[in-house]
C-alpha cells in the first residue's frame, strides 16, 4: 500500500507543472545515447507520449551524425570536418538526407506511434518550411544556415494533434538544389524561437554544464555564460549547444535546457520536478 501511496504522491507533485505547461509548445532536440540505446529509446518515447496525452505540444528535432558516419564508411565516401563541421558535398549530402529524412526520421515516428502518439516525420524541404543559405559563404560546402522558418506548417500539424518529428535538412529554394545539411542544435533553437516555445530541451551525453571542479551548474544567465567562455570552462563541442541555448532565450524562448539523455525519463524529471536534472539557461 505504501508504494501505491508514494506513486500517487509522485503524480500529485507533477500536477502543478502539468497545469503550467498544458497547451504550451516544447521543442526537444533528440540525440546522443538517448537516440541509440534501445532502452533509452523506449523511455524517450514514453516521455513524449505522456507530454502529448496531458496536452503539452512537443516538437522533436533530431540529429544522426554517428549513423551518417557509418553509412559513409560503408560506401567508402570519406568525410572531412573543419571547425567541427562536416564538409558536405553533393554525394555526402545525398547520404545525409538518406539517413536523416529516411531511416532515423521514420524510426522515431514509428516508435512514437507505437506508444500511442500521432507523430509525423518531415524535413525542412517539406513545404519549404526551413529555408537556408550556405554557412559562411560555402566554407563547409552544403552546410546551411537557416534564414526562415515557416512556423505555420508546424502549427497546423500540432493543431491536428500531430507530433512533428523534424530532420534538419534545409531547402535550397530550387528543384535542382540538393538541400542543406543543418546543425540539429541550431535548427532546434531557430524552430523554438519561431514557435514562441515555452522551452527547448537539448538531450546530450553529459549531466549539463559543469564547472572546473566537475560540479553541475544548475542555472546560467547570458553574463555567466560569457564568463565561463572567457575562463575556458566552456570549450569544444559544448560551445555550439550553449550558443543554441542562448540564441533561443535571446529570441524569446523562456528557458533552454541541456539535460542528460542517458538518464531514464530525463525529460519528465526536468519538466515535472523542482530540482530538474540539467542546466537551465535564461536571460
214 is in an annotated binding site: no
Are the beta carbons of 226 and 54 closer than 8 angstroms?
A: no
Neighbours of 191 (CB within 10 A): 27
pLDDT at residue 283, rounded to an integer: 76
Q: Is residue 11 part of a domain?
A: no
181 is in an annotated binding site: yes
pLDDT range class, residue 113, cuts 50, 70, 90: very high
What is the rounded CA–CA span in Å between residue 201 and residue 280?
9
Q: Is residue 260 part of a domain?
A: yes
171 DSSP assignment: B
Widest CA span of the chain, in angstroms?
Answer: 65
Mean pLDDT calculated for residue range 121-125 = 96
What is the rounded CA–CA span in Å between residue 81 and residue 72?
13
Q: Is residue 226 part of a domain?
A: yes
Q: Is residue 153 part of a domain?
A: yes
Could you give the number of structural domains in the chain?
Answer: 1
Residue 7 clears pLDDT 70, i.e. is over it: no
Residue 266 clears pLDDT 90, i.e. is over it: yes
Beta strands in 88-128 (DSSP E): 119-123
pLDDT at residue 237, rounded to an integer: 75
Beta partners for residue 200, in sequence order: 27, 256
64 is in an annotated binding site: yes
Residue numbers of the domain that contains 71:
22-282
Q: Is residue 6 part of a domain?
A: no
Which of 11-15, 131-135, 147-151, 224-228 comes out lowest in average pLDDT?
11-15
159 is in an annotated binding site: no
What is the radius of gyration, based on Cα positions, of the chain? 19
Q: The domain spanning residue 60 has which CATH number?
A: 3.40.1160.10
Q: Is residue 81 part of a domain?
A: yes
Residue 262's Cβ-count burial label (10 Å; 0-12, 13-18, 19+) is middle
Residue 243 clears pLDDT 70, i.e. is over it: yes
164 DSSP assignment: E
Share the mean pLDDT of the chain: 92
pTM score: 0.93
Beta partners for residue 282, in sequence order: 221
Q: Coil, strand or helix: which one is 180?
A: strand
Q: Can you give the length of the chain in residues?
A: 283
Q: Is residue 46 part of a domain?
A: yes
Q: pLDDT by residue (tens digit) across 34-78?
A: 888 999 999 999 999 999 999 999 999 999 988 998 999 999 887
Q: Is residue 96 part of a domain?
A: yes
Amino acid at each position: 500500500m505504501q508504494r501505491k501511496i508514494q506513486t500517487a504522491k509522485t503524480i500529485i507533485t507533477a500536477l502543478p507543472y502539468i497545469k503550467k505547461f498544458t497547451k504550451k509548445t516544447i521543442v526537444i532536440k533528440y540525440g546522443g545515447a538517448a537516440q541509440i540505446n534501445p532502452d533509452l529509446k523506449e523511455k524517450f518515447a514514453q516521455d513524449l507520449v505522456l507530454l502529448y496525452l496531458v496536452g503539452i505540444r512537443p516538437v522533436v528535432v533530431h540529429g544522426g551524425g554517428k549513423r551518417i558516419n557509418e553509412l559513409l564508411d560503408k560506401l567508402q565516401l570519406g568525410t572531412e570536418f573543419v571547425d567541427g563541421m562536416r564538409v558536405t558535398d553533393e554525394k555526402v549530402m545525398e547520404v545525409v538526407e538518406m539517413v536523416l529524412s529516411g531511416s532515423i526520421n521514420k524510426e522515431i515516428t514509428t516508435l512514437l506511434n507505437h506508444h500511442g502518439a500521432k507523430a509525423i516525420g518531415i524535413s525542412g524541404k517539406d513545404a519549404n518550411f526551413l529555408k537556408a543559405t550556405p554557412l559562411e559563404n560555402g566554407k563547409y560546402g552544403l552546410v546551411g544556415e537557416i534564414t526562415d522558418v515557416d512556423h505555420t506548417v508546424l502549427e497546423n500539424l500540432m493543431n491536428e494533434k500531430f507530433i512533428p518529428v523534424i530532420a534538419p535538412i534545409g531547402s535550397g529554394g530550387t528543384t535542382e538544389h540538393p538541400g542543406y545539411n543543418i546543425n540539429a542544435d541550431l535548427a532546434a533553437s531557430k524552430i523554438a524561437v519561431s514557435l514562441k516555445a515555452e522551452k527547448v530541451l537539448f538531450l546530450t551525453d553529459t549531466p549539463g554544464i559543469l564547472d572546473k571542479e566537475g560540479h553541475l551548474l544548475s542555472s546560467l544567465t547570458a553574463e555567466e555564460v560569457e564568463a565561463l567562455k572567457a575562463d575556458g570552462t566552456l570549450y569544444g563541442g559544448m560551445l555550439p549547444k550553449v550558443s543554441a541555448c542562448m540564441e533561443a532565450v535571446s529570441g524569446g524562448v523562456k528557458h533552454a535546457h541541456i539535460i542528460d539523455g542517458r538518464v531514464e525519463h530525463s525529460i519528465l524529471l526536468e519538466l515535472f520536478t523542482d530540482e530538474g536534472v540539467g542546466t537551465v539557461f535564461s536571460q
